[in-house]
Amino acid sequence: MMEEFVYYIGVFIFYYPLVMSMFWMIGGLLFYFRREYGVNKKQPPALKTTPLVTVLIPARNESSDIEETITSIYATKYPSLEIIVINDASTDMTLEILNQIASKRNNLRILDLKENLGKANALNLAFAMSNGDIILTIDADCLLGKEAISWMVWHFNTFPRVGAVTGNPRVRNRTSLLAQIQVAEYSSVVGLIKRTHRIIGKIMTVSGVIVAWRKSALVNGGLWSNDMITDDIDMTWKLEQKFWDVRYEPNAICWMLVPETMKGLWKQRKRWAQGGVEVIRKYKNVFLSYKQRRIWLIYFDYCLGILWAHVFVLGIFCYCFMVLGWRNDYYAMVGNPFFNWNGSVIAVMCLMQFLLSCILDYKYDNELWKIYFWCVWYPVVYWFFNSLAVVCVTWKALFKSMKKHAVWESPDRGIR
């Protein structure tokens, strides 16, 4: 009985990522031929109107990047903008830099908060100051593409049910192995998942680094939740439960910085994992309404991913016991997708997935080919790293008090 149980766990560890990889690749291809093929990324659709867009930038200790980010917004071709930067109790020179910029710009305002009560709290306060019908929230390290705003605004102008449009974040620091693996991740994993979810009709989460919201949709959703550690995932589910359409626009390009230290990456992945589990906990009642059936598949897939992470970590430790002679050979079936023929299959599938993402994303980022063969490190390094992060935060997220503000710190912005 134990031997069969261990065998089927090994089968689950091996086949779940392979099946999902094929699923994402098929979804990515369907999205491409339905929504990207033949579209000229250099020329967004003509806008009949250009509604005022309010750009909200939460910033905590972002003195190194905030000026560059603001400059990129003014360099966009969208004509009707206002910018509100929230200095969330920074302890560095962020406020001084913002004051210098504001003295030279008429449509830049600063909200200076004296206490860090979380990113959601900062966004809610800035929302009260906004005048735009569309709210664009970006991270303080985000460099907007010149046509990014126009591409997103087109969806709001054309489709009244669109509540949010998430953009296409690209990694701009690519000097370290960690950063290069994340380039592969954002293209071959995140990009394909977004495309697939859009085909299904429900996106698990917008990319918090760049997302535009319809103001009325935010009000209808109750604004950002102060107790959720990942505001972007939570707000996505709020809108989708209210039947707002959430879309992915690959032409809305932005360039961002990713962690390049193990400590910074670990903190980021734990926050992402905790935010995902908190959302699963908060929205478990979606199964009580048949009207929410389109989100059931996304919910189920995420729960299955959490289960896989736990089983994978358990399997790795079981395999280590086997290597040390503490268990019999049947435990080799668990957590060992790398050191025999399984590893070759996973490596080939990884290369195929990234090859497809290179083809789909070439017109957005023609430098992807340079890090093609680094992507094979993704399952070796990131599977265990991300899975361990999920294991470490799952029980905390399931049983934590949801009555406290989820405070935040500026993440690792890469090696300077």
All structural domains of the chain with their residue ranges? 2-27+295-399, 49-288
Look up the pTM and report it.
0.89
What is the rounded average pLDDT of the residues 382-400? 86
Q: State yes or no: pLDDT of 37 exceeds 90.
A: no
- Is 49-288 a domain of CATH 3.90.550.10? yes
Quote the pLDDT of residue 373: 74
Quote the pLDDT of residue 154: 95
Quote the pLDDT of residue 332: 52
Q: State yes or no: pLDDT of 90 exceeds 90.
A: no
Quote the pLDDT of residue 178: 84
What is the rounded average pLDDT of the residues 124-133? 94
Quote the pLDDT of residue 224: 93
Q: In the 3-class helix/strand/coil scheme, how is the chain assigned residue by residue?
A: CHHHHHHHHHHHHHHHHHHHHHHHHHHHHHHHHHHHCCCCCCCCCCCCCCCCEEEEEEECCCCCCHHHHHHHHHCCCCCCEEEEEEEECCCCCHHHHHHHHHCCCCCEEEEEECCCCCHHHHHHHHHHHCCCCEEEEECCCCEECCCHHHHHHHHHHHCCCEEEEEEEEEECCCCCHHHHHHHHHHHHHHHHHHHHHHHHCCCCCCCCCEEEEEHHHHHHHCCCCCCCCCHHHHHHHHHHHCCCEEEEEEEEEEEECCCCCHHHHHHHHHHHHHHHHHHHHHCHHHHHCHHHHHHHHHHHHHHHHHHHHHHHHHHHHHHHHHHCCCCCHHHHHCCCCCCCHHHHHHHHHHHHHHHHHHHHHCCCCCCHHHHHHHHHHHHHHHHHHHHHHHHHHHHHHHHCCCCCCCCCCCCCCCCC
Quote the pLDDT of residue 334: 52
Quote the pLDDT of residue 175: 83
Quote the pLDDT of residue 405: 67
Quote the pLDDT of residue 311: 87
pLDDT digits (tens, 9 = 90+) for 297-324: 899 999 999 999 998 888 777 777 666 6
- pLDDT band of 242, cuts 50, 70, 90: very high
What is the rounded average pLDDT of the residues 363-388? 80
Q: State yes or no: pLDDT of 410 exceeds 80.
A: no
